[in-house]
Amino acid sequence: MQLSKSVELRSVSNQIDVLVVENDLAMAQISLHGGHMLSFRPKSDNRERLWLSQDAVLDGTKAIRGGIPICWPWFGDHLNKGHLGKDLPAHGYVRTKQWHVVDCVDFDATTLITLKPETAADQGLDGDADLRLTVSIGNALTVELTTKNIGAKAFEFGGALHSYFNIEDITQTQLHGLSGDYLDKTQSLFDKSFANKSSADKSSIHKRSPHQITPEKYTFEKETDNIHLSLKQHFTISSTNFSIDVVSKGHDSIVVWNPWIEKSAAMTDMSAGGYQSMLCVESAITQGITLAPNEQHSLIQTIQ
């Protein structure tokens, strides 16, 4: 595949391939391991929007910690883990697959790159899907994950654009734009296989789980793992001197995650202090979407 003038393919330690993009308006990096955005820096202010762990494993052996991992075709753990007789990976399997460029074009105000995984099929997806990630890099970054049913029967899927945002100080950060109930995964009965349960099971888990009300002032002072069953589309993450705007479409939930001190320290690909400068605000499908043959669905996040 021919790359456009603004895009170069570079190898990181001879282990993963990264598309390095520089056009008039922005700089960005996308790893072909995972179809994973690593960096986005608009030239208007030259500030990095995405957080990448300094201990991220960039050798293709595991999912990269930071940037925008693509979680698909489920969010969290898969319901059928036990029944299938083998462990299925958390957040689906495409974040460790090799992706390929299928299109790469420069326009006046943006570079448009489309990627697809080597295969969208694997254990845990009961159907035939075509999966594409289209990335638009300009003044803003838009990532669009499109799932199309190319088989003869319906299937259910979930997932997330698991964006890690780069912030100055988590204790001085506020999230604006969410309201209503949320489910606190650090406390609730929400078991990790919720995403693929039947609607009746989901509603019963919701009823039995302690719901919290989103505070008017959404700040961070401890481990946070909140699932907002929210269709709201516009959020702002504001730090002391800087804010990041996020617009989401095609989601059924917004997941807000920060592992805080102990969990950061326990992760081999995150330093103990890593939690201080990151906040995940994920555009997610936690409840599952059923696609009939030929139907398609797009999960979209725009970051500015």
With binding defined as CB under 6 A, does residue 77 bind ligand BG6? Answer: no
Closest residue to ligand BG6, Cβ-based?
90
**Residue 173 Cβ, how far from ligand BG6 at the closest point, in Å?**
17
**Residue 84 Cβ, how far from ligand BG6 at the closest point, in Å?**
18
Tokens at 52, concatenated? 């990448």
**Residue nearer to ligand BG6 on the CB measure, 21 or 133:** 133
With binding defined as CB under 6 A, does residue 90 bind ligand BG6? Answer: yes
**Residue 230 Cβ, how far from ligand BG6 at the closest point, in Å?**
15
Which residue carries 């999912």 as its tokens? 63
**Residue nearer to ligand BG6 on the CB measure, 92 or 177:** 92
Among residues 282, 283, 299, 300, the one that binds ligand BG6 under rule CB under 6 A: 282
DSSP per-residue codes, 12-62: ETTTEEEEEEE-SSEEEEEETBTTEEEEEEETTT----B-B-TT---SSSS
With binding defined as CB under 6 A, does residue 257 bind ligand BG6? Answer: yes
Tokens at 246, concatenated? 């996020």
**Residue nearer to ligand BG6 on the CB measure, 192 or 232:** 192
Cα dihedral sign for 129, 124, 195, 61? negative
**Residue nearer to ligand BG6 on the CB measure, 92 or 127:** 92
Amino acid occupying residue 21: V
Number of residues that bind ligand BG6 (CB under 6 A): 9
Edge-first strand order for the sheet with 174-176 is 99-106, 111-117, 129-137, 141-149, 296-303, 243-249, 234-238, 174-176
Q: In whole angstroms, how large is the CA radius of gyration of the chain?
A: 19
Q: What contacts 69, CB < 8 A, 6 or more positions away?
A: 34, 36, 63, 91, 95, 162
Among residues 91, 97, 132, 206, the one that binds ligand BG6 under rule CB under 6 A: 91
Tokens at 33, concatenated? 């391991």
Among residues 255, 279, 285, 300, the one that binds ligand BG6 under rule CB under 6 A: 255
**Residue 255 Cβ, how far from ligand BG6 at the closest point, in Å?**
5
Among residues 33, 185, 206, 251, the one that binds ligand BG6 under rule CB under 6 A: 185
The DSSP 8-state label assigned to residue 4 in this structure reads P
Report 49-68 residues binding ligand BG6 (CB under 6 A): 63
Tokens at 229, concatenated? 């069953």
Report 214-233 residues binding ligand BG6 (CB under 6 A): 225
**Residue 67 Cβ, how far from ligand BG6 at the closest point, in Å?**
11
Give the whole-angstrom CA distance, residue 21 versus residue 2.
Answer: 14
- Other CB atoms within 10 A of residue 219 CB: 12
List of residues contacting ligand BG6 (CB under 6 A) = 63, 90-91, 162, 185, 225, 255, 257, 282
